[in-house]
Amino acid sequence: MRTVFLTIVGGLAVVGLGDPLEPRLAAAGDERVQVGWNAAILRHPPDWYASPDARSIADNVLRYQSPHGAWPKNTDLASPPASEDALAAAHGGPEANTIDNDATTMPIRFLARMTEATGDARYRAAAERGLDYLLAAQYANGGWPQYYPLREGYYSHITFNDNAMINVMEVLRDVRDRVAPFAFVDEGRRARAAAAVERGVGIVLRTQVRQDGRLTAWCAQHDEKTLEPAWARNYEPPTLSGSETVGIVRYLMSIERPSPDVVASIEGAVGWLGRVAIAGLRLEEFTNTAGARDRRVVPDPAAPPLWARFYDLRTNRPVFTGRDRVIRHALHEVEHERRIGYAYYGTWPARLLEEHPRWRAARQARALRAAPH
C-alpha cells in the first residue's frame, strides 16, 4: 500500500508517492531539487528532461530494463546498480518483470518524457519495448497478470491491486489517444494499444461482482480463468475492495463516450461505495502499552466516513485478515505487525463520491446537446 509523503530537506519540500527510495540532490538551473525514483520523477518541468541529471537517470533506467522489456519493482532506478551481479539479479530476480508498485508503467512514462525532450533513439526504443511488453502480457480475455512471464500462484491473477492493471490501461489509453508525451509511438502500436484498452474495459465489466443481480465492486484480484474473486497474499482475501474499486471507477469515468454498460457499472459501484461507508469511527495511531506505535478505531460521531479495504462478498461486512489467513471482523484482532503495516481502513472513495455528481451532470448535458431538436 502507498502513502503520500512530504519531506523537508534544507528548506526544500519533496513530495513523493509510496515508500520513498533514497533521493539524491541534483542541480536544476539555479536551484537544487530532490531527484529519486518515485512518482515525483514524472512531475518535473518539461525542460528538465533534457538536462544532464535527467539523462543520467534515464541511462540507469535503460540498464534496468529486462530482456523481456519490463522493469523490477521496489528498485531505485535513479541510481546505477551496485554491480553486474546486482543488475543480473534485478533482471531475473523475484521482483523482475512486473506491473506491481508502478513497475514498468512508470519507467515507460519517464522514458516517453525523455524521448519528447531529447529525441534520443535509445529512450524511444526502450519505451517501445516496454509498450510491447504490456501488450504481450495481456490475457486473451483482456486482463493483465501481476507478473509476465507468468509465475505460479496469485501472481498470475488479473491484478487490480494497487491499481496495477489500471496503470497499464492508462498508459495504453494515452498511447491510443496520442497524448503527450506519446506522440512518437507508431500507428501499429497505437492500433494495438486501442484494441488492448477495449479488451481491458471488457474484462473490467465482466469481473464486477453482483449481489442479487445488483452491480457492486471488484476484488483486488480475480482468477484469470474463472474471473471469480481470488486470494492473493494471506492477508488479501477474496472480498470487495473499498480501495481498488476507486481507481477502476475513476478510469471508467474518464471514458469520453461511455456505453450504457459502462455507465451502469459506474453507477453500481458508486452506489455500493456510498452504502458501505462507515460513519462514527475514526482511525488513529497511538502508543500501546508495550510502547510501540499502533493503530485502532475509536468512536467519533464527528469523524468523516471511513471505508474498509476488504468487504465480505455477500454481507458487505468489513473483513480483516492477518498473515495467518484467518477471517476476522475487527482491526484489533489482526496481529500488530499487520495493523501498522497494511491499510485496512482508508478514505479512498471520498473524493470520487464528490466528483461523481459532476460527472453525471456533464454526461447528461452532453446527451441533451446531442439529442435531435
Q: Which residues are catalytic?
A: 101, 233
CA nearest neighbour of 220 among 205, 231, 211: 231
Q: Which of 154, 153, 202, 194 is nearest to 173 (CA)?
A: 194
The DSSP-derived string for 38-98 is SGGGG-S-GGGGGSHHHHHHHHHHHHH--TTS---SS--TTS--SSHHHHHHHHHSTT-SB
Composition of the chain by helix, strand, coil, percent to 5: 45, 15, 40
Altogether, the residues listed in the chain come to a count of 373
**In Å, how far are 141, 147, 220, 225, 272 from 152, measured between CA atoms?**
19, 10, 18, 14, 33
> Residue 158 in 3-state DSSP?
strand
CA–CA gap between residue 340 and residue 350 (Å, rounded): 22
**From CA 359, how far away is CA 92, in angstroms rounded?**
44
Are 355 and 253 within 8 A, CB to CB? yes
Q: Where are the beta strands (DSSP E) in the chain?
A: 4-9, 12-17, 24-28, 31-35, 158-159, 210-211, 214-215, 221-222, 240-241, 281-287, 293-299, 307-308, 310-311, 320-321, 327-328, 345-346
Which residues partner with 296 through β-bridges?
284
Any residues with CB less than 8 A from the CB of 170 and at least 6 apart, and which?
105, 251
